[in-house]
Amino acid sequence: MRQHIIVGLDVGTTKICAVAAAEHPGGLDLIGMGVTHSVGLRKGMVINIDDTVDSIRRALAETEACTGVRIKSVSVGISGGHIKGFSSQGAVGIKGSEVTPSDIERAIEAARTVYIPLDREILHVIPTEFILDGQEGITNPVGMSGVRLEARVHIITGAVSSIQNLLKCCEKAGLDVVDIVFEPLASARATLTRLEKESGVVLVDIGGGTTDIALFKDGSLRHASVLGIGGNHITNDIAVGLRVTMPDAEILKKLSGAVAGQAADLPADIQITQSGGQVKTIPSECLVQIIQPRCEEVLEMVRGELKRCCGYEHAIYGVVMTGGSSLLKGFDKLAESTLDLPVRVGLPDMMNGLEPIIKNPQYSTGVGLVASYPEHDRTKTVHAEDVNSMLGKMKHWARDIFRHAETTDINHKKEGGTVCSRSKK
Ligand SMILES: Nc1ncnc2c1ncn2[C@@H]1O[C@H](COP(=O)(O)OP(=O)(O)OP(=O)(O)O)[C@@H](O)[C@H]1O
Ligand SMILES: [Mg+2]
């Protein structure tokens, strides 16, 4: 059976994650995922091409090994402080007596005809509403009678250099990029319900290097922005505050980290190894005292952004927090009190397969990239039957690896790894 395999590539500051799904008439089945530690990015942007290419290659190799599919095309995510959004509108006269899809296209084209500096490029033009002869709030005017059609859109742009650098990394890793998607749009696709987007909700994706914010109302994006702060800042604070290495600080944060009032079920004391090898026992309250101010700072910045974009007026459903940092114990509760809005943690929840591993806020962007893979490009991706011969090779390769593993000590990685549904079959 011919089957389309589609792949989303989340090039994050802390991890690179390639999510592969098989398309079938009923939807998408996740069939494998490769996650590797990301090297070469800072605050969501490429700062070292070779390191980023290496990280992408490793994530792809993991995914290819477990799915048996040679990955040629991906939909890739982009973020970083260079990304900006603004609203625009444009109007056209209707050619016939009823609005046709081509009238809509012309109206959107008119709305996107704005001055964009040469060093910036449009990533998305998202229609927010249509106005037909003065009647506002129309979501789909096809077939309606009228004379003048106006489109209101939200335009997302990015710095040409940052976009080119990301594309260059993908190309050097042997990939054809079929789409480049602003990451919170992908995360929103994976975590938000239609009702939330209709009623008004803010997605806050707190990753390692960035905090992405996207406000949805009446089913479409109204505002988006990126803050250059994330979980890495918390890790850094722990490393400096306790004089431990960054990897140790990361482990302490994940295992024993919490915000105030949430550490009750954690041990009263924790052991740390300071640089120089000195082992110390400290109250876990010390860790909380280091983590808390940075979390408050992130949330204050989100609050400021919500005030600026009228988020408090629109976000009836409150906030959906996602991204790896939303796993920090009590961060959602702190967000609820700081932002004064209901908060839930958003897990990717829209495809079959690989549960419960995939149901982790770190993978919201990767899953969302697969889900938003452009329809017309799905045929460009690999067909499962095209890779049968390769699958044979993969099996030999895997057998060799396991044979080798029996005779050598496997060095287990702290970060990253392969998750595969095929291997379970
Ligand atoms: N259990 C946990 N507790 C606290 N923090 C966590 C936990 N698990 C992951 N994190 C943090 O989440 C962050 C990584 O999140 P994520 O994978 O969403 O980021 P990213 O996509 O690589 O980065 P970005 O989107 O900012 O470019 C890291 O700072 C990591 O320490
Ligand atoms: Mg991310």
Question: Residue 213 pairs with which residues in a beta bridge?
Answer: 204, 225
Are 306 and 223 a contacting pair, CB within 8 Å? Answer: no
Residues 145-202 pLDDT 10s = 999 999 999 999 999 999 999 999 999 999 999 999 999 999 999 999 999 999 999 9
Q: How many Cα atoms within 13 Å fall on the side-chain side of residue 357?
A: 17
End-to-end CA distance of the chain: 17
Model confidence at 378, in pLDDT bands (50, 70, 90)?
A: low
Ligand 1 atom nearest residue 231's Cα: 29
Query: Relative to the alpha carbon of 45, which ligand is closest?
Result: 1
- Residues 245 and 228: their CA atoms lie apart, in Å, by 22
Centre of ligand 1 from the C-alpha of residue 327, in Å: 8
Other Cβ atoms within 10 Å of 37 Cβ, number: 14
Ligand 1 atom nearest residue 325's Cα: 12
Query: Relative to the alpha carbon of 15, which ligand is closest?
Result: 1
> Atom 31 of ligand 1 has which residue's CA nearest to it?
231
Sequence-ordered alpha helix ranges (H) in 4-48: none
Are 150 and 107 a contacting pair, CB within 8 Å? Answer: yes
Residues 296-349 pLDDT 10s = 999 999 999 999 988 899 999 999 999 999 999 999 999 999 999 999 999 998
Ligand 1 atom nearest residue 331's Cα: 4
Domains of the chain, CATH where assigned: 4-80+162-187+351-424 (3.30.420.40), 84-161 (3.30.1490.110), 191-229+293-345 (3.30.420.40), 235-284 (no CATH)
Report the share of the chain in percent with pLDDT over 70: 86
Pocket of ligand 1 (CB under 6 A): 12-15, 38, 44, 79, 207-210, 230-232, 235, 250, 253-254, 257, 323-325, 327-328, 362
Q: H/E element holding 73?
A: strand 73-78
Are 60 and 71 a contacting pair, CB within 8 Å? Answer: yes
Ligand 1 atom nearest residue 209's Cα: 26
Other Cβ atoms within 10 Å of 195 Cβ, number: 10
Query: Relative to the alpha carbon of 253, which ligand is closest?
Result: 1
Q: How many residues does the chain have?
A: 425
Query: Relative to the alpha carbon of 210, which ligand is closest?
Result: 1
Give the per-residue pLDDT at 263. Answer: 61
Give the residue-averaged pLDDT of 388-413. 34
> Atom 19 of ligand 1 has which residue's CA nearest to it?
207
Centre of ligand 2 from the C-alpha of residue 102, in Å: 36
Centre of ligand 2 from the C-alpha of residue 42, in Å: 12
Q: Which tokens hold the place of 137?
A: 């709030």
> Atom 4 of ligand 1 has which residue's CA nearest to it?
328
Centre of ligand 1 from the C-alpha of residue 62, in Å: 20
Q: What is the CA radius of gyration of the chain?
A: 23
Question: Rounded to a whole number, what is the largest CA-CA distance in the chain?
Answer: 80
215: CB partners within 8 A, 6+ apart: 200, 201, 202, 203, 221, 222, 223, 224, 306, 309, 311, 314, 315
> Atom 25 of ligand 1 has which residue's CA nearest to it?
207
Model confidence at 403, in pLDDT bands (50, 70, 90)?
A: very low
Ligand 1 atom nearest residue 16's Cα: 22
Model confidence at 394, in pLDDT bands (50, 70, 90)?
A: very low
Mutate to test the pocket of ligand 1, among 251, 362, 364 (most ligand atoms within 8 A of CB): 362
Report the share of the chain in percent with pLDDT over 90: 74
| Sign of the torsion formed by the C-alpha atoms of 282, 288, 293 and 297 | positive
Instruction: List the single range of 190-204, 273-287, 370-384 with lowest mean pLDDT.
Output: 370-384
Ligand 1 atom nearest residue 365's Cα: 21
pTM of the predicted structure, to 2 decimals: 0.88
> Atom 15 of ligand 1 has which residue's CA nearest to it?
324
Residues 36-77 pLDDT 10s = 999 999 999 999 999 999 999 999 999 999 899 999 999 999
Centre of ligand 1 from the C-alpha of residue 77, in Å: 16
Which is nearest to 158 in space by CA: 84, 47, 76, 213? 84
Other Cβ atoms within 10 Å of 114 Cβ, number: 14
Query: Relative to the alpha carbon of 362, which ligand is closest?
Result: 1
Q: Which position has the token pair 């030999």?
A: 396
- Residues 59 and 36: their CA atoms lie apart, in Å, by 5
Give the per-residue pLDDT at 1. Answer: 56
Mutate to test the pocket of ligand 1, among 11, 13, 14 (most ligand atoms within 8 A of CB): 14
